[in-house]
C-alpha cells in the first residue's frame, strides 16, 4: 500500500465563518481523509470555541464529495455504544460510506470528568481499559446486527435496533488507537487500522531518534498481538497522528519528507497532519503545509 496523507481539522471555527471552507480546501488539496477530534473540550482550547464531532462531520459530508471523513478519536469517556451506533449509521449514510471511526480508550482530560459529580473520581487507566474492552465489541455488534441485546458489567443494550445498518459492509471501519497490550489486542481483533501518536513519555524531553525507536517497539508489539489472533500484521494499516513527538515535520518541506520516509519504513500507511492554527501549538506555515499536501508523496 502506498503512503497516504490525511489531516485533522480541530472543530474550533464556526461553520459559516471559515469552518466549511477548511473542509472543502482539504478535499481540494487531495488529502485521503480529514478527521476531527471527538471531545467535549480539549486542552488549551477548553475556554474557546469547540464544536461537536458528529454534527461537524455530518456538515462536512454534505460539503465534500470524495474525501473520507472520521474521528481521531472517539472514546467511552462520554459515549455509549447504543447511541453512538445510531449516530454512526446515520453519518455513514449521509456521507455515502466515507466514514472511518477512530476510537480509543480515552484519557484524563476534560471528557473524563464532564459527566461526573464533583465527588466522583475519573476512571483509572485500568478502568478505562475495562470499559473500552467491553465498549468496542458491543459497538461492533451494534453496527453489524439488526437487533442486539446485551448485558455486561459496564454497558447494556435491550433489543437495540440498527436498521438498515452501515452503507459500508459489514460496517464502517474502526481505526483503533492503542499502545498497551489490551488495546493492541483489540486493534488486532476488531481494527481495520491501528493509530498511534508515538510515546508520550518521549514527546516533551526525548529526541526524534528515541521517538522513532519507541514507535518501532509499538509496531513490533502490534505484530505480536496480531499473531495471537491469527492475523497478518502487514495487512493492518498503520496510522501515525503527528504533533505529539519531538519531531517538527511541518517545519519545512524537506523536514516532512525525511520524517515521512523514516516512519513509512516502519510500515506506516497513513500520516495525519494537523491543519495549521495560528497562535496555538499547531501553528505552521500554511504554504509549507499545502506544498506538503500536494507534492510530498511524489518525493517518497
Residue 41: predicted pLDDT? 94
**Pairing mode, strands 147-151 and 156-161:** antiparallel
For residue 198, what is its C-alpha cell? 508515538
Residue 1: predicted pLDDT? 58
Rounded-to-integer distance, Cα 112 and Cα 138, Å: 21
Phi, psi angles (nearest 5°) of residue 64: -125, 170
Q: Are 250 and 256 in contact (CB under 8 A)?
A: yes
Rounded-to-integer distance, Cα 137 and Cα 300, Å: 37
Give the chain's domains with CATH numbers. Answer: 4-298 (3.20.20.30)
Which alpha helices (H) appear in the chain, and where do they start and end? 20-28, 53-63, 81-94, 125-144, 181-190, 200-203, 208-228, 253-264, 286-295
Residue 273: predicted pLDDT? 98
pLDDT in tens, the chain (300 residues): 589 999 999 999 999 999 999 999 999 999 999 999 999 999 999 999 999 999 999 999 999 999 999 999 999 999 999 999 999 999 999 999 999 999 999 999 899 999 999 999 999 999 999 999 999 999 999 999 999 999 999 999 999 999 999 999 999 999 999 999 999 999 999 999 999 999 999 988 899 999 999 999 999 999 999 999 999 999 999 999 999 999 999 999 999 999 999 999 999 999 999 999 999 999 999 999 999 999 999 998
Residue 232: predicted pLDDT? 96
Residue 201 CB-density burial (10 A; 0-12 exposed, 13-18 middle, 19+ buried): exposed
Residue carrying the nine cell digits 489531516: 7
**All residues at 6 or more sequence positions from 257 whose CB lies less than 8 Å from its CB, including other chains:** 296, 299, 300
Phi, psi angles (nearest 5°) of residue 277: -130, 105
Residue 2: predicted pLDDT? 87
Amino acid at each position: 500500500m502506498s503512503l497516504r496523507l490525511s489531516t485533522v481539522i480541530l472543530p474550533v471555527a464556526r461553520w459559516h465563518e471559515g469552518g466549511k471552507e477548511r473542509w472543502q480546501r482539504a478535499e481540494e488539496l487531495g488529502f485521503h481523509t480529514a478527521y476531527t477530534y471527538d471531545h467535549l473540550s480539549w486542552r488549551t482550547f477548553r475556554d474557546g470555541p469547540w464544536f461537536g464531532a458528529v454534527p461537524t462531520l455530518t456538515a462536512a459530508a454534505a460539503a465534500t464529495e470524495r474525501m473520507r471523513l472520521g474521528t481521531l478519536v472517539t472514546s467511552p469517556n462520554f459515549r455509549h455504544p447504543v447511541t453512538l451506533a445510531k449516530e454512526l449509521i446515520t453519518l455513514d449514510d449521509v456521507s455515502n460510506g466515507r466514514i472511518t471511526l477512530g476510537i480509543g480508550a480515552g484519557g484524563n482530560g476534560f471528557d473524563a470528568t464532564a459527566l461526573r459529580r464533583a465527588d466522583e473520581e475519573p476512571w483509572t487507566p485500568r478502568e478505562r481499559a475495562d470499559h473500552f474492552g467491553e465498549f468496542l465489541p458491543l459497538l461492533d455488534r451494534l453496527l453489524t446486527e439488526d437487533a442486539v441485546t446485551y448485558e455486561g458489567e459496564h454497558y447494556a443494550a435491550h433489543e437495540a435496533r440498527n436498521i438498515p445498518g452501515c452503507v459500508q459492509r459489514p460496517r464502517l471501519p474502526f481505526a483503533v488507537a492503542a499502545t498497551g497490550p489490551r488495546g493492541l489486542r483489540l486493534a488486532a481483533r476488531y481494527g481495520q487500522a491501528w493509530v498511534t501518536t508515538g510515546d508520550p513519555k518521549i514527546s516533551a524531553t526525548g529526541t526524534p531518534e528515541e521517538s522513532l525507536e519507541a514507535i518501532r517497539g509499538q509496531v513490533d508489539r502490534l505484530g505480536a498481538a496480531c499473531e495471537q489472533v491469527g492475523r497478518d500484521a502487514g495487512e493492518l494499516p498503520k496510522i501515525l497522528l503527528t504533533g505529539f513527538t519531538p519531531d517538527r515535520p511541518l517545519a519545512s518541506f524537506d523536514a516532512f519528507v525525511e520524517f515521512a520516509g523514516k516512519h513509512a519504513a516502519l510500515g506506516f500507511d497513513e500520516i495525519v497532519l494537523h491543519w495549521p492554527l495560528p497562535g496555538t501549538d499547531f501553528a505552521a506555515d500554511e504554504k509549507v503545509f499545502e506544498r506538503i499536501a500536494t507534492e510530498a508523496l511524489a518525493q517518497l
